[in-house]
Amino acid sequence: MHIDFLLDLVLIGLTSGCLYSLVALGYSIVYGVVGVINFSHGEVYAFGAYVGYVSIVMLGLPLPLAFLLSAVSTGCLALMAERLLFRPLSSGQNLSLLVAHIGLSVAIRSVLALVWGERFRTYRTPNAVSEVLRVGGVALSLHHLLVLAATALLGLGLWALLSHSRFGRALRAVSQGRDAAAAKGLPVVGTIAGAYALGGFLAGAAGVLAGHLTELTPQMGVLMGVKAFTASVLGGIGRPWGAVVGGLVVGVLEALVGGLVGGAFREAFVFGLLAVVLLAFPRGIMAPRSGDRGRWSQK
């Protein structure tokens, strides 16, 4: 076993882990604020990837513009879904909320399949050569660098938003106690909508980045949803920074299993990992020992 091979695997894992982190943030932020799992989140990510496909491949827009367009459109999609479906149903049974999420997921998947068909799509043109940067024995393609850099930027922006803005403070307050936040005059309903929109924005960003690494299919959101959810639970669902760490861990573990055991076991590994994580670490690997509600605590 050559050490460079392992390093390559870790690097590939970190890159896909960045995407898992971005999507997992959506699960975590929404769970932190509302306390429910956002089951249709994977499909929001897939929608973002296809918006990126339209703007990059079909319209030929420059990358930053395409990036912004798709992240904003998924943010709006999440906002609309929250307003029209999740908010009216949030006071009722859990089952109807779940069914609404399922209906939305199936709707997004089938619209993607109707418009673009089931076949694989990719952002790359056939004759484009992706530049490769060599650091020691490790090869880094420009696509990987792009994903790493964009995730770092988004993470920085998110940190600024959560810890230094009015919205971030409201988000934290609502997640720590909805009634107390309302008593203090914070716009609770708007903050919840904002949490969905922020999650959608990050998922759309992940979608555009994913288009540079893998092929797009209408079904791409399902597996991503499971992996990102695993990541968010691993980091302690409700904690944004836990989701980031969880995503990177899931990405690296998955790449190592895929490279060392065999690609066929990658999917089964992720599903098994989710069960193990939920049963053994239901509050995440970084949970404090006691006195924590598993939500978003800033101590």
Residues at the contact surface with other proteins, assessed by CB under 8 A: 36-37, 39, 84-85, 88-89, 92-96, 98-100, 102-104, 106-107, 109-111, 113-114, 117, 218, 222, 226, 229, 233, 264-265, 267-268, 270-272, 274-275, 278-279, 282
Least spacing, CB of residue 272 vs other proteins, in Å: 7
What is residue 129's three-state secondary structure? coil
Least spacing, CB of residue 205 vs other proteins, in Å: 23
Least spacing, CB of residue 253 vs other proteins, in Å: 15
Q: How far is CA 261 from CA 20, 148, 150, 210, 265, in A?
A: 21, 26, 30, 24, 7
Q: Yes or no: say if 27 and 182 are a contact pair by the CB < 8 Å rule.
A: no
Least spacing, CB of residue 127 vs other proteins, in Å: 29
Least spacing, CB of residue 156 vs other proteins, in Å: 30
Q: Yes or no: say if 228 and 247 are a contact pair by the CB < 8 Å rule.
A: yes
Q: Which residues pair with 132 in a beta bridge?
A: 141
Q: Which residues pair with 134 in a beta bridge?
A: 139
Cβ proximity to other proteins, 36 vs 63, nearer residue: 36
In angstroms, rounded to a whole number, what is the distance separating the alpha carbons of residues 90 and 67?
31
In angstroms, rounded to a whole number, what is the distance separating the alpha carbons of residues 232 and 57?
32
Cβ proximity to other proteins, 89 vs 146, nearer residue: 89
Cβ proximity to other proteins, 117 vs 157, nearer residue: 117
Cβ proximity to other proteins, 14 vs 85, nearer residue: 85
Amino acid identity of residue 186, one-letter, is L
Residue written as tokens 């106690």?
Answer: 177
Contacts of 53 (CB under 8 A, 6+ apart): 116, 121, 123, 211, 216
Structure tokens given for 164: 């230094």
Least spacing, CB of residue 105 vs other proteins, in Å: 8
Cβ proximity to other proteins, 117 vs 177, nearer residue: 117
Cβ proximity to other proteins, 101 vs 144, nearer residue: 101
Least spacing, CB of residue 254 vs other proteins, in Å: 14
Contacts of the segment 89-92: beta carbons below 8 A, 24+ positions apart: 90/34, 90/36
Cβ proximity to other proteins, 1 vs 95, nearer residue: 95
Classify the C-alpha dihedral 57-63-69-73 as positive or negative. positive
